[in-house]
Amino acid sequence: MNIDVLLGLQWGDEGKGKVVDVLTPNYELVCRFQGGPNAGHTLEFEGKKYVLRSIPSGIFQGNKVNIIGNGVVLDPALFKVEVDQLAASGHPLTERLKISKKAHLIMPTHRLLDAANEAAKGAGKIGTTGKGIGPTYTDKISRNGLRVGDIQLNFEEKYQARKERHLQMLAQMGYEVDQAALAQAEAEWMEGVACMKTFEFIDSEHYINKHIKEGRKVLCEGAQGTMLDIDFGSYPFVTSSNTICAGACTGLGVAPQRIGKVYGIFKAYCTRVGSGPFPTELFDEVGQKMRDNGHEYGSVTGRPRRCGWIDLVALRYAVMINGVTDLIMMKSDVLDDFECIKACVAYKINGEEVEDFPFDIDSVEVEPVYAELPGWNTPMSHMKSEDEFPEEFNQYLSFLEAELGVNISIVSVGPDREQTIER
Ligand code: GDP
Ligand code: IMO
Ligand code: MG
């Protein structure tokens, strides 16, 4: 059991990047298994801040090998931007990063299809990141995709055939394509492909399994969060991949019985970007205070994140689906100056209390049932050990552990690598 998985339990942006970076010294391989540049994983250390989109968050800690797995969708143009930024900040990657031949490529026309799909949905739009994620996964499933390994085969021919198909689809949707902008995007994309070629394309399933056989430890990094999972999230307001633990098996080619720890990461409260149900969302000054204290603005799109109290109905569901063995609570410091902390323990739907996450979450009126706990009213960002935790904070941790049935093994009290406390 040499593979551990770290994934988000809420609607994304829980702080996955930060914790993967913190845990990397314990591992030899760090692998992203799904999603694409819709992700924005933020890391802070030595006074600098980095945002990673497609590159795993294990690249800053020594010479660990990082892998972009087959389950990922990769945009060469954005990949190049990321690589160039990292190189400029003194982090060249060539030796440390390898890319699965089976990962799918996001084409410039996938982005246009993303925009066209959103426009067609009108008021019911998903609020996607606009990175072409949905159309690329759609092509993968409908067996029309273009893969990283194709770059080494008859690439030009395959690319053109797919592009033509996309342009026909866009015309059918009545979407007007700006040809000059597309030509510019294609030129950048081809430069991105050239950049990708400076990295090794591998059969990552063989590479990873060989390492596991040799007893080396692997950390799998999830993107997005369980409530955005294509099967189990708040459908249709979800992303287009399996963000859950099982996604690590299909997104890397590893067997379920190899998986050891499942780190489930959550914020001490709750946020969401884009549209869709969010039962504990706050529209008042309390929600605004969470947004201000937590700097809750998207790292990819800059959109203000919707904020609310922790939702234990959704979290219990996420713990169950993922088989979480260890919980990690992030952004505890954001609640440092709240008189009272609320936690949603059930939903009231049509006058009835419900504790299981409902199928029709999208269409029913949900009233959260809250438990109230005292706030700790103590700054926590400087704390180094759990011995310093205020009593009310320990009370909140114990309450959550009892509700979720899993121990909270790490608590984060600030964005920096150092502001991480193991319990
Ligand atoms: P990810 O997508 O799950 O990696 O999370 P993001 O990077 O999108 O969002 C998390 C944000 O919270 C980033 O800006 C982090 O720097 C920041 N962050 C992470 N942990 C903490 C914490 O414990 N306290 C505070 N205040 N900020 C944190
Ligand atoms: P990380 O990895 C938060 C959301 C979008 C939208 C929905 C579908 O940083 O936690 P998509 O572009 O994937 O088709 O958009 O999913 N979304 C995220 N929200 N964090 C993310 O990633 C997200 N990736 C996608 O806002 O609601
Ligand atoms: Mg993020």
Interval between CA 128 and ligand 2 midpoint (Å)? 7
Nearest CA to ligand 2 atom 15: 128
pLDDT band at 117 (very low <50, low <70, confident <90, very high): very high
Calculate mean pLDDT across residues 226-233.
98
What's the pLDDT score for residue 1?
A: 59
Between CA 388 and CA 386 the distance in angstroms is 5
* Segment 247-304, tens digit of pLDDT: 999 999 999 999 999 999 999 999 999 899 999 999 999 999 999 999 998 766 788 9
* Segment 329-374, tens digit of pLDDT: 999 999 999 999 999 999 999 999 999 999 999 889 999 999 999 9
Residue 227 in contact with residue 314, Cβ under 8 Å?
yes
What's the pLDDT score for residue 95?
A: 86
Taking Cα atoms as reference points, which of 267, 255, 160 lies closest to residue 213? Answer: 255
Cross-strand bridge partners of residue 65: 29
High-pLDDT (> 70) share of the chain, %: 99
- Cα torsion 110, 66, 71, 320: sign: negative
For ligand 2, is residue 230 a contact (CB within 6 Å)? no
What's the pLDDT score for residue 59?
A: 97
Q: Which residues are catalytic?
A: 13, 41
pTM (2 d.p.): 0.97
Interval between CA 169 and ligand 3 midpoint (Å)? 31
Q: What is the mean pLDDT of the chain?
A: 96
pLDDT band at 19 (very low <50, low <70, confident <90, very high): very high
The answer, yes or no, to whether residue 163 has pLDDT greater than 70, is yes
Counting atoms of ligand 2 from 1, which one is nearest the CA of 13? 10
- The DSSP annotation for 107-143 comes to PHHHHHHHHHHHHHHGGG-----SSSHHHHHHHHHTT
For ligand 2, is residue 8 a contact (CB within 6 Å)? yes
Counting atoms of ligand 2 from 1, which one is nearest the CA of 301? 26
Residue 105 in contact with residue 76, Cβ under 8 Å?
yes
Backbone phi and psi for residue 370, each to the nearest 5 degrees, phi listed first: -105, 140
Nearest CA to ligand 1 atom 10: 15
Interval between CA 9 and ligand 3 midpoint (Å)? 13
